[in-house]
């Protein structure tokens, strides 16, 4: 069992540290997320980002283009801050509790990952000498997804007296904005309008409507107190506050349980009725049962068994933190996905990127396949929008998935680094294929996966063209956003080839199984198109430089002016914040892994000497300004036997958010990097590969560790791999026996086997 509690004692009260802790200790369950703000609030001047979010709930925002060229995006979707129900202000004989007045005798914050809760414990001495112990426990329920719970336990230590609690419920809220940072919203806009606010049957209810998308959301709040108390309410425009007053004796503990339930019109026909029903269900279950079900849910997922590292407790904690955040971030239904910041903050405005397919879905495919299936079904649910997007881009057939989106339409106004990233359609198809290879689930392929792969394959035939017998793809942008609108980006061409090949293979698999006719008829896929898929994939042009023995990132990359990385100061990073895009585009410099990523996910497309030379070359030109980068360099370094480099890159990736190494965790966690951390362990150090040829492992042990282990699902079986200095042990924990290749030797794994290193 890995470390499952993150404790921060005597935490800093500086504004810059607290806003980071708001992210680090946030609560989420894949449906809703709440930043970890102090319930009692902050002094004036503290730039708290106070937010509550629902996955997939959005409004539209106008995004005007300076020059209105055809097809440029002029509206984007925004994930909304929907309400504030965190507010709990406590007074003792008229003295208001605040972390910034009186004396803090002790303080700590805890994230109890095994229990699925966060905790803040404070012993406070008021300016007049009253001492009190206060505990805040917060939970976003996995049992009742619309439920967020705050439990407050108050115990006077040296006095008896009157305690007053003001529990707030506010619907008139706005999103955070920062005009100086392109990674967050630049506009201060009122997206939600409160249409109804009432207090009835001991609970407050606020209904709000979006300004443009026509969606509604209802928040319901109920306060339950453990002792007899006087209650009253104050209602202002868009806000309801309940006053709870009681007399408490010295040493006596009183408990306030604050239930918040939030329901939206995307998932519920009547959000108000749904919120009332969910609240009643929560009240019927009771607090202790809700806490128990939270623990049971997390235990059932086996997330703490997914990976364990021995020999570096800090790193083990960081890894388990990352995996826990993935569980908090992933949508549990078909109406959401995984935002770039999860549900922890407003960075990137709640948009979903290709990060999901290439960095996040591998974790779910290997550990919780049902959630990976949901992610594929979400992409299928927006396939019509992807078809429409392809038409906007000028293609008569096929589907072009957007670079960033919530409900399916493109949200990026900067097309050179946005819509031009055609590889995203190939990435979505790749994730479908990876899921199939790991699960053998042909039913999902028939249901929706094949249609995604067929329609994205169609796109490439129109995007590319033949020149001197080779299929070229021009004017696209690869994963590296410091090089835009290029010809024959290596990654893009390779992912297109994979997409085209698997369109043909899925057709053959479905035909062999006696199914698949429905999708062929639905989209009108002709046999001649399948022939063209195979022809284009077989003749795909892949850039290669004979002199350097590498795959250039694109046709022009090696012609560009070099930029010595040693001359770049930390103050200049990320470069996109300090240099004009055109300046970046003209230089031989990368923001993130691009060709190196291609060498990882499709390693059999190139020989190892070329991969080695490419890796060494791209090390010299990559800034790793993107959090998506170092984890991939770690995986490929492991493959090539660069163990020290692999470990260094891995450490940079694993500790990014828990220790705020990129200095922007305040805007939210980096979910893709968290998935990348998992890949760096399992695909990197573990050497796990799942291909058409089957399952293989090539484990290595970093010198800083004494051992590690990981579990994963494969074709209906649960397997565990343990690695230490002397041996590799593979166990079949459940399911049918599996054939596995370890260190290039084939074994039949029916129980367990041990291989000496």
Question: Catalytic residue positions?
Answer: 481
Render the burial of 111-137: b for 16+ CB within 10 Å, e for the rest. Answer: bbbbbbbbbbbbbbebeeebbbbbbbb
Q: If residue 22 lies in a helix (H) or strand (E), which one and from where to where?
A: helix 15-24
List the one residue out of 375, 382, 376 whose CA is nearest residue 400.
382
**3-class DSSP assignment, residue 54:** strand
Q: CB neighbours of 299 closer than 8 A, spacing ≥ 6?
A: 114
- CA-only gyration radius of the chain, Å: 27
Token pair for residue 246?
A: 């009681």
**Phi and psi torsions of 379, nearest 5°:** -60, -35
- Calculate the alpha carbon distances from 210 to 80, 82, 329, 389 in Å: 9, 10, 23, 24
User: And the tokens for 70?
Assistant: 């055809």
426 exposure class (CB count in 10 Å sphere: 0-12, 13-18, 19+): buried
Is there a contact between 175 and 191 (Cβ–Cβ < 8 Å)?
A: yes
Q: In angstroms, rounded to a whole number, what is the distance separating the alpha carbons of residues 407 and 332?
A: 16
- What's the DSSP call for residue 685? I
Closest-CA residue to 125 (of 150, 152, 159): 159
Residue reference for tokens 């108390």? 229
Under 8 Å between Cβ of 738 and 695: yes
Q: Using CB atoms within 10 A of its CB, is residue 661 exposed (0-12), middle (13-18) or buried (19+)? A: middle
Q: Is the link from the previous residue into 574 a cis peptide, with omega within 30 of 0? A: yes
- Which residues lie closer than 8 Å to 470 by C-beta, 6 or more apart? 539, 540, 541
Return d(Cα 168, Cα 146) in angstroms, integer. Answer: 18
Q: Which residues contact 254 (CB under 8 A, 6 or more apart)?
A: 153, 154, 155, 163, 225, 226, 227, 246, 248
Is residue 715 within 8 A of residue 439, CB to CB? The reply is yes
Residues β-bridged to residue 656: none
- Asked whether the beta carbons of 320 and 113 are under 8 A apart, the reply is yes
Strands of the sheet containing 689-691, edge to edge, are 689-691, 694-697, 738-742, 745-749
Listed residue (136, 135, 123, 129) closest to 159, CA to CA = 129
Query: CA 737, CA 435: separation in Å to the nearest integer?
Result: 20
Contacts of 46 (CB under 8 A, 6+ apart): 15, 18
């Amino acid at each position: 069992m890995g470390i499952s509690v993150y404790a921060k004692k005597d935490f800093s009260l500086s504004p810059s540290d607290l806003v980071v802790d708001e992210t680090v200790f946030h609560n989420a369950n894949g449906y809703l997320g709440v930043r970890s703000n102090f319930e009692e609030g902050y002094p004036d001047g503290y730039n708290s980002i106070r937010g509550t979010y629902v996955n997939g709930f959005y409004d539209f925002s106008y995004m005007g283009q300076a020059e209105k060229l055809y097809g440029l995006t002029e509206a984007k979707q925004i994930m909304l801050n929907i309400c504030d129900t965190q507010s709990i202000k406590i007074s003792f004989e008229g003295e208001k509790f605040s972390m910034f007045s009186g004396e803090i005798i002790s303080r700590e914050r805890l994230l109890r990952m095994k229990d699925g809760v966060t905790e803040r414990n404070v012993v406070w001495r008021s300016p007049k000498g009253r001492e009190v112990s206060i505990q805040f426990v917060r939970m976003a329920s996995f049992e009742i997804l619309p439920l967020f719970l705050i439990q407050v336990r108050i115990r006077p230590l040296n006095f008896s007296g009157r305690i007053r609690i003001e529990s707030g419920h506010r619907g008139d809220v706005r999103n955070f904005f920062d005009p100086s940072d392109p990674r967050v919203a630049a506009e201060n806009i009122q997206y939600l309008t409160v249409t109804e606010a009432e207090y009835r049957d001991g609970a407050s209810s606020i209904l709000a409507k979006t300004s443009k998308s026509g969606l509604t959301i209802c928040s319901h709040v109920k306060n339950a107190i453990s002792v007899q108390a006087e209650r009253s309410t104050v209602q202002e425009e868009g806000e309801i506050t309940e006053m709870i007053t009681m007399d408490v004796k010295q040493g006596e503990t009183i408990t306030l349980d604050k239930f918040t339930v939030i329901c939206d019109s995307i998932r519920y026909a009547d959000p108000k009725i749904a919120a009332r029903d969910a609240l009643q269900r929560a009240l019927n279950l009771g607090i202790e049962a809700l806490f128990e079900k939270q623990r049971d849910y997390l235990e059932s997922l086996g997330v703490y068994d997914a990976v364990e590292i021995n020999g570096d407790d800090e790193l083990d904690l960081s890894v388990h933190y990352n995996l826990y955040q993935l569980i908090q971030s992933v949508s549990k239904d078909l109406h959401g996905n995984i935002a770039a910041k999860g549900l922890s903050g407003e960075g990137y405005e709640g948009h979903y990127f290709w990060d999901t397919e290439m960095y996040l879905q591998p974790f779910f495919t290997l550990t919780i396949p049902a959630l990976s299936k949901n992610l594929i079904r979400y992409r299928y649910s927006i396939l019509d929008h992807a078809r429409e997007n392809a038409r906007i881009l000028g293609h008569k057939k096929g589907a072009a998935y957007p670079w960033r989106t919530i409900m399916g339409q493109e949200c990026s106004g900067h097309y050179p680094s946005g819509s031009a990233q055609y590889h995203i359609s190939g990435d979505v198809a790749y994730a479908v294929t990876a899921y199939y290879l790991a699960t053998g689930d042909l039913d999902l392929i028939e249901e929706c996966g094949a249609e995604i792969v067929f329609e994205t394959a169609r796109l490439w035939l129109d995007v590319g063209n033949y020149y001197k017998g080779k299929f070229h793809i021009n004017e696209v942008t690869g994963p590296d956003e410091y090089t835009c609108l290029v010809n024959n980006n290596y990654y893009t061409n390779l992912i297109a080839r994979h997409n085209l090949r698997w369109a043909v293979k899925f057709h053959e698999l479905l035909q062999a199984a006696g199914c698949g006719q429905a999708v062929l008829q639905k989209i009108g896929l002709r046999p001649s198109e399948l022939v063209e898929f195979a022809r284009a994939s077989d003749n795909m042009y892949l850039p290669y430089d004979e002199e350097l023995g590498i795959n250039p990132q694109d046709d022009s990359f090696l012609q560009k002016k070099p930029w010595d990385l040693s001359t770049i100061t930390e103050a200049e990073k990320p470069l996109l914040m300090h240099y004009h895009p055109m300046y970046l585009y003209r230089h031989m410099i990368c923001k993130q892994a691009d060709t190196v990523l291609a060498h990882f996910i499709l390693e059999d497309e190139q020989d190892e000497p070329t991969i080695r030379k490419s890796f060494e070359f791209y090390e010299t030109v990559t800034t790793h300004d993107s959090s998506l980068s170092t984890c991939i360099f770690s995986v490929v370094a492991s493959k090539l036997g660069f163990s020290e480099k692999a470990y260094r890159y891995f450490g940079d990736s694993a500790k990014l958010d828990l220790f705020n190494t990129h200095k922007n965790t305040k805007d939210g966690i980096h979910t893709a990097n968290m998935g990348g951390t998992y890949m760096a362990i399992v695909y990197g150090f573990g050497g796990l590969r799942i291909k058409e040829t089957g399952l293989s492992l090539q484990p290595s042990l970093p010198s800083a560790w004494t051992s590690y282990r990981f579990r994963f699902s494969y074709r209906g079986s649960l397997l565990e791999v343990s690695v230490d200095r002397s041996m590799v042990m593979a166990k079949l924990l459940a399911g049918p026996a599996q054939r596995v290749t370890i260190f290039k030797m084939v074994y039949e794994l029916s129980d367990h086997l041990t291989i000496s290193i």
